[in-house]
Amino acid sequence: MRGTMSEREFASINGKLAMALRFERPEAYVAELRRQVEEEQIMRAVAKAVSAAPPLTPDQIERITAILHAHATPAKKTAARKTKAARTTKRKQSA
């Protein structure tokens, strides 16, 4: 299991993300940097919560794991682009 990255590594990823957004880099590159930043933020929050908490029971660990698994499915990027036929049909219905 991976621990959290160093402050220097985290600052570097944040800097790369800021530059990618500023200079309008490809969306796939920006999305990957965002994923890395969000992953690290979650890892740090979990590490902080676990270090401050008393030892967990097996039941508590199981419930926490279930929560993480329930949210493990990647979010859809965006809705599919409407075709010309779909846009035309929608205009006819609203008229």
- pLDDT surpasses 80 at 82: no
Q: Give just the sign of the alpha carbon dihedral 33, 38, 41, 46.
A: negative
Q: 16 Cβ partners below 8 Å, 6+ apart?
A: 33
pTM of the model: 0.62
Average pLDDT of every residue of the chain: 82
Q: Can you tell me the mean pLDDT for 47-57? A: 91
| Residue 71: predicted pLDDT | 85
Residues 37-47 have pLDDT tens digits of: 999 999 999 89
78 band by pLDDT with thresholds 50, 70 and 90: very low
